[in-house]
A and B are shown apart, each in its own frame.
Chain A
Amino acid sequence: MKRQQYLIKKISWAVFTIAVVLILNFFLFRILPGDPARSGIHDPRLKKDAVEAIRVRYGLDKPVINCIEKVNPVVFGGCLVNPLDTQFFIYVTNLFKGEMGISYHTNRPVAEILVERVWNTILLIGAGQVLAIIFGVIFGIFAAWKARTTIDYAALLSSLLAWSLPTFWLGIILLFWGSANGLPIAGKATPGMSSMPWTDQWADILRHIFLPTLTYTIVFMGEYMLIMRSSLLDVLSEDYILTAKAKGLSTFQILKDHARKNAMLPLVTVIAINLGFTVAGALQIETVFSWPGLGGTIYESVNRRDFPVLQGTFLLINVSVILANLIADLTYSYLDPRVQSES
């Protein structure tokens, strides 16, 4: 019963947050100054009727919402407009149909662009996170086990260093190193590979993803290692560990059966938050290595003032952050039953 209540509460909060984000997201890009109809095309020679045609094409000729014609600067308009003929409701209804508008810059449906890019980002982040978690946890356990020895200090120092490295800087350094060693430094695949057998295609993608993943792994591994180490050290100082030791259990058994699960709790939080945020966090890595993912898309779209694409990307990131947190909450209740009884 308690568990069900907890689930319902968490899920309804998530749905509520998504709704708020949906609304904010719409207005955020309309508060920005300037004329979206001209943003795709930076050229004053664009004739007035051409601008008007673009406005109509992107639905910008319609009022933003009842009573408000434009948001920046705020222009009030008639309140008796059919709500279905306002930008806001068209945006909402289109979203339910899975449509996110048309890119100002490329003339393509935003949903199509995002679907194309999101898998590349998931591939990069997935590979990077898995490796970072594996190595972070291993080195974290190792450092905690060898606490206050030279090995521990060396691990600590290198993790701090890796964690504090500017991502793009590390990326560029690795890019220089990789290009000197014949590794591809841009894109996801060698052009022309699509006519090759799929094994060759994947081998090609693996070569392309190597450098960005390495960058990603190094940056996040440090963080995970530090958290794992300190949380494990906390746990190891608990009385029940002393009890376990007194029972004559081996260090391995203590680490495996008694300490690890409790020590993982803080890490789960960080991983969950990271999973959501790193969709955007991969922005720098994707830009350095020209990886065709969401981060690169954000960078491009900001430069080009491509609001519909930004709006879509932000929505996707917001939803993934909220969902990641929801999953973290649910995992928490499983890992640590105290969480639901407290709430």
Chain B
Amino acid sequence: MKSKLTILLALLMATALILSACGGQVAPETPEPVEPAEPGATEPPAPTEAPSEPAVVRIGYAGSPDTLNPGAAVLAESYLIFELVYDTIYDLNLDGTFSLSLADSAEVSDDNLVWTFKLRDATFHDGTPLTAEDVVFSYDLYANTEGYPWMGDYTYYFESVEAPDPKTVVITLSEAIPNLDSQLVFLYVLPKHIWENEDAVEFENTEMIGSGAFKMVEYKQNEFVHLAANKDHPQAPKVDEVIFQTFESNDALVQAIKTGQVDMVTEFPATSVESLRATENVEVVTGAPFAPTVTDIIFNQCTAENCPEGDGICSGHPSLQDRNVRLALAHATDKQKIIDVVYLGLASPGTTLIPDGLGVWYNSSLKDYEFDVTKANQILDDAGYLDTDGDGVREMPDGTNPLVYRLNWPSDSIDGPRLAELLGEMWAEVGVDTEPQAMDPDALTAACCPAYDFDVMLWGWGSDPDPNLLLSVMTTDEIPTGSSETGYSNPEYDELYYAQGAEMDFETRKEMVWQMQQIVFDDVVYIIPYYDPALQAYRTDRFTGWITDQPKVELADPTSLDVIEPVQ
């Protein structure tokens, strides 16, 4: 009787073995991790040894577009796809300059208000020719749709957009602005015949008919974006297909490039740089990101007279309104140590809100405050901030209100806790105490501005290609709107800001922009610990020709994807 059970168990074990063997067989069955897909759905699958096997670039990233509707999109992942699928009148180059793309020529009237663009021949992916009507329709859509978060900014100075003939676009501005090209790079040209029948905000646009160098094949949110080359485009790509694949975990992303499941990754944690550098056939590229970002240490400098009516709480520590204190903190901050700890030495130290990734607009002549604890202590001593009660923390010159700062950062920031801890240690050396506390990003926004209910905050900015936006952040006019995080106010700076916004001469404007950076640097409005670097990596055994010698790094930009070729 015992034997029966033994047989049964033996059978079960055998089943288990077969099952697990089936699982094990999965791998060797298909050694190629990803089978290249056929471009046409109707064609029967070609044998893999055929010479015409499509060249598919597989790109791994940690995100996914939020939406493919260019007006409603917020994330950089969406803009990456727009750059590939749509054409714009201007393109942004990797050195920060602009060049004509959809237009062959641009002419401007003497008063700098009327711009005339002559379009080149272009066809949408569905075969419809692209005309000036489509450009007019798109620009009007961006300007007039209230539910679009950004587009209103880029079309703010548009008085009218007209199409006198199918190849000509005339933009009339309400004010002469020096940076029209930097606005037009985000105004993607949409097909009127599709969009005029759709709700501008609700339209999901998953079919994504554009006229760019790549066309949409298939999109699965949070899974992948599958694009195919548009061989009729003037910058026709040499590869056949591009796939962006979403990885929810960074470990998986790094592992995918190491094992060759993807050919390029657009981002990965700094902690993986060393192991990727040591991996055969993987090349790591670092540099300024395509859309530069700045990490900033924000001091609440909002004075009682500038406190916004109604919204303002303005509870900042009074000592932070004193330049001496901010200067001392700048001297007490060891930026190199921060960079070594937070970015393993890969980032570059910052000076003002204008990052080095903005190229010509970045004031490279500024000499950073040297890290010198003795000097920092001296400045505070001289300014009368003494530790009168001997508890290791300085007080205000009148002996009250010890220099204890609330130090907040958004809880979704990975670097925030490390940065806060380092700052706490460094500033303790000069008798300044901190109360570090992560805050929910929404709560932080509510405390930030225009409430000014904080002392010190760690946050960041993404930058436009033009410095105008970040320069506006430090103007007095932006205090009540809440765009100013510091509450800083300086009439000389404000004047320069409005002057540069109307200055048509490039050199003069550049000089003004540099001078403005000098002013806010001298006033120590912020401490900028570093400018965030772009960390990307590609496999050298798959494609060649990646553009890596430019000031900015973006391997997923058309500049690279249009020119790379399979390794023979």
Contacts and interface: CB of A to CB of B under 8 A. Distances in A.
Contact of A108 (B12, B204, B441): B204
B226 A192 contact: yes
Interface stretch (A5-13, A156-164, A272-280, A288-296): A288-296
A191 B222 CA distance: 12
Interface string A159-199: 00000000000001001101111111111111111111000
B485 A44 contact: yes
A167 to B, nearest CB: 13
Contact of A255 (B5, B33, B56, B218): B5
A180 B8 CA distance: 36
A192 B443 contact: no
Given A53-B147, A107-B72, A191 B4 contact: no
A288 B38 contact: no
B62 to A, nearest CB: 9
B446 interface: yes
Contact of B443 (A33, A36, A107): A33
Interface in B347-401: none
A255 B2 CA distance: 12
A50 B149 contact: yes
Contacts of A135: 16
Interface string B203-244: 010000000000001101111101000000000000001010
A181 B26 CA distance: 10
A192 B516 CA distance: 51
A194 to B, nearest CB: 6
A296 B249 CA distance: 10
B425 interface: no
A38 B446 CA distance: 10
A206 B26 contact: yes
B226 A42 contact: no
Contacts, number: 191
Interface in B471-521: 473, 481-483, 485
Given A142-B9, A192-B218, A34 B441 contact: yes
Contacts of A288: 248-249, 251-252
A49 interface: yes
Contact of A33 (B69, B410, B412, B440): B440
B66 interface: yes
B249 to A, nearest CB: 5
Contacts of B443: 33-34
A179 B254 CA distance: 11
Interface in A101-143: 105-108, 113, 135, 138, 142
A40 interface: yes
A190 B60 CA distance: 13
B4 A250 contact: yes
Contact of A106 (B35, B221, B448): B221
A34 B440 contact: yes
Given A186-B245, A251-B2, A290-B248, A191 B261 contact: no
Nearest to B34: A190
A192 B38 contact: yes
Nearest to B444: A34
B74 A40 contact: yes
Interface footprint category on B: 35 or more
A193 B56 CA distance: 13
B35 A252 contact: no
B259 A207 contact: no
A33 B38 contact: no
Interface in B1-50: 1-2, 4-5, 8-9, 12, 16, 23, 26-28, 30-38, 41, 45
B202 interface: yes
Given A34-B441, A180-B259, A192-B37, A292 B249 contact: no
B26 A190 contact: no
Interface in A288-306: 288-290, 292, 296-297, 299-300, 303, 305
A286 B252 contact: no
A42 B441 contact: yes
A44 B253 CA distance: 31
A48 interface: yes
Contacts of B147: 53-54, 57
Given A42-B445, A179-B261, A252 B252 contact: no
A166 to B, nearest CB: 14
Given A185-B261, A210-B23, A300-B222, A105 B66 contact: yes
A35 interface: yes
A44 B445 contact: yes
Contact of A175 (B1, B41, B255, B446): B255
B2 A250 contact: yes
Nearest to B439: A33
Contacts of A195: 37-38, 41
A184 B34 CA distance: 8
A46 interface: yes
A215 interface: no
A149 interface: no
B149 A252 contact: no
Contacts of B313: none
Interface string A233-266: 0000000000000000011100100000000000
B547 to A, nearest CB: 24
Most chain A CB within a 10 A radius of its CB, from B204, B226, B248 = B248
A97 interface: no
A105 B63 CA distance: 13
B247 A138 contact: no
A19 to B, nearest CB: 29
A182 B27 contact: yes
A186 B252 contact: yes
A186 B45 CA distance: 24
Contacts of A186: 60, 245-248, 252, 256, 261
Contacts of A286: 248
Contact of A210 (B26, B33, B448, B473): B26
Contact of B247 (A105, A193, A206, A290): A290
A279 to B, nearest CB: 17
B354 to A, nearest CB: 16
Contacts of A330: none
Given A179-B261, A186-B252, A252-B1, 15 more contacts: A32-B440, A43-B462, A44-B482, A50-B152, A108-B67, A175-B255, A182-B32, A192-B35, A192-B37, A195-B37, A196-B45, A250-B2, A251-B1, A290-B252, A297-B222
20 contacts: A35-B446, A38-B442, A45-B473, A50-B146, A50-B148, A106-B67, A107-B66, A175-B251, A176-B255, A179-B259, A182-B33, A185-B261, A190-B37, A191-B243, A192-B38, A192-B56, A195-B41, A206-B26, A251-B5, A305-B442
